[in-house]
Amino acid sequence: MESHPSVEGTYLAACVFYCTLFQQSCVNATFNSSLPPETATILRTIASATVLDEIETWNLDVPNGTDALLDDYTLGTDFVTLVHNGQGTHLWTCSNGQSFTTATVTFNFATAGSYTVTHTYDDPCGNTDTGTLHLRHCPRR
């Protein structure tokens, strides 16, 4: 029994990877590997049609995936603004009692100290990720 994939299977997998990663058709690709051009064209067409006709099925429409990491931030003298561009739901909590459910939040710090900010992000597919930041606020005199 052969344990290695066929050239056709490997080529089809490569075409599917291409369409998935770049979210564009591979039909016009010119590399055929060792396959007859007609076979390679059929496999490229199948890969493109399967992946690109079902964007939502393969979750290619989810813009930020499941990741609670920050996309941007702004530090002020007594505040920090944190930005996450995900289209899912957000829960931000801070050890000073502030909490928010928006994608962009501003935490204010009235006194010097160490603070913990936790961001729980649920993507549109229901996957969850949590990130934690440890901040130290030292007001200027």
- In whole angstroms, give the CA distance from residue 53 to residue 47: 10
The Cα-based distances of 4 to 1, 8, 10, 91 in angstroms read: 9, 11, 9, 47
77 assigned to some structural domain: yes
Domain count, the chain: 2
Which tokens hold the place of 95?
């050890």
Are 33 and 89 in a shared domain?
Answer: no
Domain hosting residue 127, numbered range: 72-137
pLDDT greater at residue 126 or residue 2: 126
14 plus 48 within the same structural domain: yes
**77 and 125 co-located in one domain:** yes
Q: Are residues 85 and 117 in the same domain?
A: yes
C-alpha distance from residue 56 to each of 10, 15, 28, 35, 51 (Å)? 25, 19, 24, 31, 10
CATH number at residue 84: 2.60.40.10
Per-residue model confidence (pLDDT) at position 68:
84
With respect to residue 66, please indicate whether it lies within any of the assigned structural domains. Answer: no
84-110 per-position pLDDT tens digit = 998 899 999 999 999 999 999 999 999
Is the per-residue pLDDT at 2 higher than 70?
A: no
In a domain? residue 1 = no
Using an 8 Å Cβ cutoff, are 46 and 35 in contact? no
Higher pLDDT, 77 or 65: 77
> Is 63 among the domain residues?
no
pLDDT in tens, 10-27: 999 999 999 988 889 999
Q: Which residues contact 75 (CB under 8 A, 6 or more apart)?
A: none
76 and 48, same domain (yes or no): no
- Asked whether residue 83 falls in the same domain as residue 31, the answer is no
Predicted confidence at residue 141, as pLDDT, reads 63
d(CA 115, CA 124): 29
pLDDT of residue 59: 72
The predicted structure's pLDDT at residue 138: 85
Is 60 a domain residue? no
pLDDT digits (tens, 9 = 90+) for 32-53: 999 999 999 999 999 999 999 9
- Give CA–CA dist 98/96, Å, rounded: 6
Give the integer Cα–Cα distance in Å for 86 and 66.
8
